Homo-oligomer: A and B are copies of this chain.
Amino acid sequence: MTRYRMTVEYDGTGYVGWQRQQNGPSIQAALEEAVFAYSGETVRVFGAGRTDAGVHALGQVAHVDLAGAGDADTLRSAVNAHLRNQRISVVEAEEVDDGFDARFSATRRIYLYRILNRRPPPALDRGQVWHVGPPLDAEAMDRAAQRLVGHHDFTTFRASECQAKSPVKTLDLLEVRRVGDEIRVTAEARSFLHRQVRNMVGTLERVGAGRRSADDVAAALEARDRAAGGPTAPACGLCLTAVSYD
C-alpha cells in the first residue's frame, strides 16, 4: 500500500460538509468515488478538518492508501478529471510515509472567515462571505479577539454536538482586519472544537456592532456556557485555508 497526501480546494456550497453522510453529497464521498473511478479501489479518504455544510477550503489536507501504487501527479490529474462536475479540486498530491495521518499529524489549522461589511449584498462573492450591512468596528473586534487567544476552556464557543474529549484548546492566533469593504478574521490553532471559529466570529460581530464589549467576551469565555456566547456566524463565510505538519 502507498499512502498519498492530497491538498484539496472546494466550494462547500451544496455539500453536507466534509464528512460522508446519508442526507446528501459530501466532499469525502466525492473524493472517494473519484479515487475509485480512477483506481478501482474502494478507499477511505481521511481529512484534517471535518468542515461543516457550506464551509469552503483552499487547503484541506487528506490522506488515502492505494494498493496500485501510481505516480502522485497522475493520481491528482485523474481524480480531478473525475471531479469535473464537482466544485472540488485536488491541488497537490504526493507520496508520504505510512506514519503520516492528515488528521492526527496536523500541528496547525488555519481558517479565514470573511465578512462583507457594506449595505449592498454581494454579487460575485455570494456564498463565500457573510453579508453584514450595518458598519462594524473591526478594531474593537480585534481587541476583543485578543481576549480569546491562549490556552482556555472554550465550552462557550463549542457546538452541543461537539465530540472532542476536552473543551480545552490553545488558540494561537485570532486576528481581525478590515480590507476595504471586507472584514477578515484569521484563526490559527493545533485544533478547534466543533463550530468554534463560527461561534467566536458570531460573538465578535456583536462586538463590532457595539452590542458587546471586550470585557463581555472575556466574561463569556469564563462562563464556560454556550448560552453566554453570541450567535453562530453562517457557514458560507468560513474557509479552511491551510493545514500544517511538522
- Listed in ascending order, the chain A residues whose CB lies under 8 Å from chain B are 9-11, 56, 58, 73, 76-77, 80, 84, 87-92, 118-124, 126, 128, 239
Q: Are B118 and A91 in contact (CB under 8 A)?
A: yes
Q: In the bound complex, do residue A89 and residue B56 qualify as a contact, i.e. CB atoms below 8 Å apart? A: no
The residue of chain B having its C-beta at the shortest distance from the C-beta of A239 within the complex is B124
Whether B58 lies near A120 (C-beta < 8 A) is no
Instruction: List residues of chain B with CB within 8 A of the CB of A10.
Output: 123-124
What are the residues of chain B within 8 A of A90 when measuring CB–CB? 120
- Closest beta carbon of chain B to A244's beta carbon, Å: 18
Q: Is the pair A9, B124 in contact by a Cβ cutoff of 8 Å?
A: yes
Q: How many copies does the complex hold?
A: 2
The answer to whether A9 touches B128, judged by C-beta atoms less than 8 angstroms apart, is no
- Complex contacts, A126 vs chain B, CB 8 Å: 11, 87
Contact yes or no, A123 B77, CB < 8 A: no
Q: Tell me the complex Cα distance, A84–B122, Å.
A: 10
Pairwise interchain contact B89-A11, C-beta atoms closer than 8 A: no
Give the distance to chain B from A179, nearest Cβ to Cβ, in Å.
15
Return chain B residues, CB-CB under 8 Å to A92: 120
Cα-based distance from A10 to B124 in the complex (angstroms): 6
Given pairs A76-B119, A124-B239, 16 additional interface contacts (CB within 8 A): A9-B120, A9-B124, A11-B124, A58-B124, A73-B119, A77-B119, A80-B120, A80-B121, A84-B121, A87-B126, A89-B121, A89-B122, A89-B123, A90-B120, A91-B120, A124-B128
A91 to chain B: which residues have CB within 8 Å?
Answer: 118, 120
A126 vs B56: C-alpha distance in the bound complex, in angstroms? 13
Which of A87, A88, A89, A239 counts the most B-chain CB atoms under 10 A from its CB?
A89
Instruction: Please determine whether B120 and A89 come into contact, CB atoms closer than 8 angstroms.
Output: yes
